[in-house]
Amino acid sequence: MAGYLKYVLISIITISLLAKFLLIVFNQGLWWDEAVYLGLGKNIPKGFYSLDPGEPLETFRPPLFPLLVSPLSSSILLSRILVVCFSILAVVLTYLLSKKLFGKETALWVSLFLSTNQLFIFFTTKTLTESLFISSLSLSLIFFLGRKDKPSYSLLSGIFAGLAFLTRYLGTVLSISYVIYFLYLLSRRKDTTRLTKELFLLLAGIFIVISPWLFMSQTYYGNIFGAYSTNIMEYSDQGRFFTSYLTSVIDYSYFNYIFQAFGLQIIFIVLGFYFMARHGKTDNRILLIIIFLMPLIFFSLAPYREPRYLLSYSSMYAIFSGFALRQKVKLFRLLHLLAILACIFSMISGFGMVWNDRFAANGLVQASLHVKNLTVEDDYVMSQSYPYVYYLSERRAVIFPRKMEDLKTAINEKNIRYVLLYKFEPKNPEYVEDYFDNSDEFVLVRKFEQWGDPEAARIYEFTG
């Protein structure tokens, strides 16, 4: 690689990573999942893993990320700084993984594709799990590739695969990919004893790490897989049911989400897969192809799809992009230029997404903080946006009953004085929007603006 090209790539990577420290300062909002993770993290030192001290609320979330964020959970900004640091670690580890696979030059391209991916930039400026997952994924693969020289690395690979699972349940895809790969090796090798031992150590590492989670799941749900199944049901309720999967496994939205996840970089991902499949006769390349395909298959079956699900495996897709650029094809210098331009465009798009989203739910944030001033400890607040009430208001929450006739009963049971109403997600029951304005028993205390809507968030006091 020419010296000037090397420094161009390093400069773009550095800008894409460090600019996020500046961007997060301007973020005045807070996402639902951020409020959940921070709320869980704040309660871990108190001895329970839930938003509510009396019941398992959001307990199905994988616990590793809230545990690591816990010391900083009182500060949204500090937690986001930690996540940006995780994103830098993710890029460094992906570089080391790629270097082990294909050398320094390819590794630099891989780092460029990952660090400038628009969704990677966007989601790693929020207190979310993607960057920690990618770090665990890369470490697991680094040790997995070294297991032939040091058998104990199989155990370490399993440990980090388990940590990936405890960060996001999408880590299941990685574990299944490993098993499929071992089955492939066992079908064509004679040294089955060594391979069986490596597989055992890998699975042992995964089990060692997730065993506390299994115990926690048993404690809260009466089932060692209760947290996992609850998570699946949570998203099944938002999306399609299994009976409709077979009729719409692959549709327009599927490909649209893939494009949203990777933007113009998808051109190089496809090229990389083509070259990898064409020359993928080595064991390592077979493993990469398996891990390439498995997230796409699981994503096609997901009851509730979001582009960010593929983002968890963006480091793998970046490896395929980098692999495409190591091929000495005709006009390869032009291909390098196009890759740089695509990454710059993706980086700018990511910065734009972060900037445009800086006020997300800021009206709800302000309203939740105001509710804290109106109430005292142990008060209940009625709101569909319960994670904000628990985390920002530091109060317990009750969601709106589905039927209007049950509203008064719910209010009286918990002696609720204040209702926090938010116009946007999640959707309120149909009766809610007009009920409080037309009722003589509720008085509007204050309203908060968001996205040009002066009544985006409203606080009502029950006077009945």
pLDDT of 396 reads: 96
From 333, 356, 379, the end of a domain falls on 356
How far is the first Cα of the chain from the last one, in angstroms, to the nearest whole number?
75
From 320, 336, 356, the end of a domain falls on 356
Query: Does residue 239 carry a pLDDT above 60?
Result: no
Of all residues in the chain, the percent with pLDDT exceeding 70 is 94
pLDDT of 148 reads: 80
Verify that 159 and 229 share a domain, yes or no. yes
Query: Which residues have a Cβ under 8 Å from the Cβ of 63 and sit 6 or more positions away?
Result: 40, 49, 166, 213, 216
Verify that 134 and 199 share a domain, yes or no. yes
Residue 260 one-letter amino acid: Q
Query: Does residue 248 carry a pLDDT above 70?
Result: no
> pLDDT tens for residues 9-41?
999 999 999 999 999 999 999 999 999 999 999
Verify that 338 and 375 share a domain, yes or no. no
Verify that 221 and 145 share a domain, yes or no. yes
Query: Does residue 236 carry a pLDDT above 60?
Result: no
Verify that 237 and 319 share a domain, yes or no. yes
Verify that 249 and 338 share a domain, yes or no. yes
Q: Are 389 and 407 in contact (CB under 8 A)?
A: no
Verify that 101 and 75 share a domain, yes or no. yes
* Domain ranges, residue 368: 362-462
Query: Which residues have a Cβ under 8 Å from the Cβ of 173 and sit 6 or more positions away?
Result: 291, 294, 295, 298, 313
pLDDT of 133 reads: 98
Tokens at residue 413, please? 């049971």
Handedness of CA 184, 189, 191, 192 (dihedral sign): positive
From 294, 325, 356, the end of a domain falls on 356
Query: Does residue 63 carry a pLDDT above 80?
Result: yes
Asked which of 9-13, 168-172, 228-232, 358-362 is least confident by mean pLDDT, the reply is 228-232
Q: Is 304 helix (H, G, I), strand (E, B) or coil?
A: coil
pLDDT of 246 reads: 41
Residue 46: exposed, middle, or buried by beta-carbon count in 10 A (0-12, 13-18, 19+)? exposed
Q: What is the mean pLDDT of the chain?
A: 91
Asked which of 71-75, 181-185, 300-304, 437-441 is least confident by mean pLDDT, the reply is 300-304
Verify that 272 and 399 share a domain, yes or no. no
**pTM score, whole prediction:** 0.93
Verify that 387 and 451 share a domain, yes or no. yes
Verify that 308 and 437 share a domain, yes or no. no
At 235, the pLDDT band (50, 70, 90 cuts) reads: low
Q: Stretch 201-213: mean pLDDT, rounded?
A: 96
Q: Are 325 and 109 in contact (CB under 8 A)?
A: yes
pLDDT of 303 reads: 67
Verify that 312 and 207 share a domain, yes or no. yes
| Pairing verdict, β 396-398 and 380-382 | parallel
Count of domains forming the chain? 2
Verify that 303 and 370 share a domain, yes or no. no
Q: Stretch 438-446: mean pLDDT, rounded?
A: 92
At 251, the pLDDT band (50, 70, 90 cuts) reads: low
Among 415, 385, 412, 381, smallest CA distance to 398 is for 381
